[in-house]
Amino acid sequence: MKRILFAASECLPFIKTGGLADVIGTLPRALAARGCDVRVIIPKYGRIPDEYRSRMRHVFETTITLGWRNQYLGVDSLEEGGITFYFVDNEFYFKSYVYGEGEFEAERFCYFCVAVMESLPHLGFFPDVIHCHDWQTGYIPLLQRSRYHRLPDYRDIKTVFTIHNLRFQGLSSFGRVEDCLSLGSDVLSTIEYSGGASAMKAAILYSDRITTVSPTYAREIMTPEHGETLDCLLRCRADDVSGILNGIDNDLFNPWTDRAIASRYSKNSIYGPKNAKTPQGKARCRMALMQELGLDNEGPIAAVVSRLTGQKGMDLIAGIVPRLLEAGANLVVLGMGEPRYEQLFNACAERYAGRFAFCSEMNDTLARRIYAGSDMFLMPSAFEPCGISQLIALRYGCVPIVRETGGLADTVQAYNRYEDTGNGFSFANYSAEELWMVTRMALDVYHGEPEAWKRLVKRCMECDNGWGRSAGSYIELYEKL
């Protein structure tokens, strides 16, 4: 039985700001179902809800050295869904917020990396593999290779590092990293990046294996266009890089059992029988969503559930809003992010009342109601390492319209009306015109070929995007270390 410790900065259901939390909260269960002893360690943020904090059991407390500092380290634990979760407790670093900016952010996660390594003897759990996720855990492979591997209990520990988003690299000054980790000039010089130190570069250099969250993204990050200036380094380690597609928890995202939606349905009860007098499945969910969000237009509903950032293609969505609404469709946007996009969508909601709804929040329950009640899902990302939202949309029969990049290219196959194949609509170039072209095509099929649209929706729901295959790929990778 392989012993695996997942180290990450967030995890569902305890704390979430993005798709990383979904992965850390669901992949371990899929690995455990295949015989692995998987545990997870994250910071104990002050924002973790009391319903979980009240169930935590105190495991130990001690003092650790962080450069010249002696810092408190406590670890609590609880079991959720058959998985043991550990929470690194230090209120100085983690009480007030999840992510911040500046040099103190580097210190917070330098502390977390040291805390993970120093916790192992107290937990009585020395894993075969520490699986690290994104830059916040990037110094763990470096610490293992440069310091801890000399200790008998640590000698055989291997590290895997998963890049969820290469753009965010944990950059800080040399002085701050050396002040926290006492690496020495020889090691420190290897992680130099733009005059400072990069936690992402440290992980790429020192981990035993590197993964990304989709096969296409694994290829893309080795190119100058998507490599964020680390493409040369990644090409040097190409033999150690693999792309393993993210999945979703099919039990959690299941329209047949989801109590958050107005009417539960399966791939065989989406619309009900022909000429049915009572709306079924998605039709009921659609009516309930319109009532909830104040929509009064009977046209198809297009949805966006996303962080509102340039990466997610918000400029392209803004570029097609007037034409989309003029074509008789509705648009629902759920998300938070850059103020310019929030202001823009607030203005659209006022201007196009009854056809455009904007919900400025991160609300998983509302998101599921939107997936269930909407007909199309817009995700025209500039780049997308994998994407979770399009997988959930497919699960709920909400036809995705995506740009062909990263995991979107791996999970959405373009609709072919002549062969009646595909599970969505896609376009290649980052262009509002191309987004509108394929959206117009989707609207044409929706209005003009209703039976073809129903078959398309059913194919979406038949897609298996659970963790099964990917969990098997991770286990194969662990076995080869």
Residue matched to tokens 């699960």: 395
**Do 47 and 7 belong together in one domain?**
yes
**Do 39 and 90 belong together in one domain?**
yes
Whole-number CA gyration radius for the chain: 23
Phi first, then psi: give them for residue 24, nearest 5 degrees.
-70, -25
First to last CA, the chain: 14
| Residue 66: partners with Cβ closer than 8 Å, 6 or more residues away | 107, 110, 111, 114, 180, 181
- Report if residue 271 sits inside a domain: no
Residue matched to tokens 């959930």: 392
- Determine the pLDDT at residue 431: 97
Q: How far is CA 341 from CA 59, 338, 346, 356, 361, in A?
A: 44, 6, 8, 14, 13
**Do 352 and 472 belong together in one domain?**
no
Spell out a b/e string for 357-388, using b for 16 or more CB atoms within 10 Å of the CB, else e.
Answer: bbbeebebebbbbbbbbbbbbbbbbbbbbbbb
- Determine the pLDDT at residue 393: 98
- Report if residue 275 sits inside a domain: no
The DSSP bridge partners found for residue 400 are: 377
- Determine the pLDDT at residue 362: 84
Cα–Cα distance for residue pair 206/111, rounded to 1 Å: 18
Q: Report the 10 Å Cβ neighbour count for 186.
A: 8
**Do 306 and 216 belong together in one domain?**
no
The DSSP bridge partners found for residue 263 are: none
- Report if residue 24 sits inside a domain: yes
Phi first, then psi: give them for residue 456, nearest 5 degrees.
-65, -45
Q: Which CATH number belongs to the domain containing residue 324 in this structure?
A: 3.40.50.2000
**Do 324 and 436 belong together in one domain?**
yes
- Report if residue 15 sits inside a domain: yes
**Do 186 and 39 belong together in one domain?**
yes
Burial class (CB in 10 A: 0-12, 13-18, 19+), 63: exposed
- Report if residue 196 sits inside a domain: yes
- Report if residue 264 sits inside a domain: no
**Do 423 and 307 belong together in one domain?**
yes
Q: What is the pLDDT along the chain (481 residues), one digit of tens a residue?
A: 899 999 999 999 999 988 899 999 999 999 999 999 999 999 999 999 999 999 999 999 999 999 888 999 999 999 999 999 999 999 999 998 899 988 999 999 999 999 999 999 999 999 999 999 999 999 999 999 999 999 999 999 999 999 999 999 999 999 999 999 999 999 999 999 988 999 999 999 999 999 999 999 999 999 999 999 999 999 999 999 999 999 999 999 999 999 999 999 998 887 765 545 445 788 899 999 999 999 999 999 999 999 999 999 999 999 999 999 999 999 999 999 999 999 999 999 999 999 999 999 988 899 999 999 999 999 999 999 999 999 999 999 999 999 999 999 999 999 999 999 999 999 999 999 999 999 999 999 999 999 999 999 999 999 999 999 999 999 999 999 9
Cα–Cα distance for residue pair 64/434, rounded to 1 Å: 55
**Do 243 and 303 belong together in one domain?**
no
Structural domain that includes position 371: 282-462
Please answer whether residues 356 and 348 qualify as being in contact, where contact means their C-beta atoms are separated by less than 8 angstroms. yes
- Determine the pLDDT at residue 270: 77
Q: How far is CA 276 from CA 24, 159, 271, 273, 283, in A?
A: 42, 56, 9, 6, 11
- Report if residue 257 sits inside a domain: no
What is the tally of structural domains in the chain? Answer: 2
**Do 214 and 108 belong together in one domain?**
yes
Give all strands (DSSP E) within 187-310, no chain letters: 192-193, 196-198, 209-212, 241-243, 301-305
Please answer whether residues 108 and 93 qualify as being in contact, where contact means their C-beta atoms are separated by less than 8 angstroms. yes
- Report if residue 123 sits inside a domain: yes
- Determine the pLDDT at residue 277: 46
Cα–Cα distance for residue pair 348/361, rounded to 1 Å: 16
**Do 445 and 474 belong together in one domain?**
no
**Do 201 and 89 belong together in one domain?**
yes
Nearest-5° Cα angle at 21, 88 to 102: 65
**Do 431 and 472 belong together in one domain?**
no
Cα–Cα distance for residue pair 22/25, rounded to 1 Å: 5
Q: How far is CA 417 from CA 270, 271, 379, 441, 444, in A?
A: 21, 21, 21, 10, 11
Strand order, beta sheet including 209-212: 57-66, 69-80, 83-89, 37-43, 3-7, 129-133, 158-163, 209-212, 241-243
- Determine the pLDDT at residue 319: 97
- Determine the pLDDT at residue 279: 56
- Determine the pLDDT at residue 274: 56
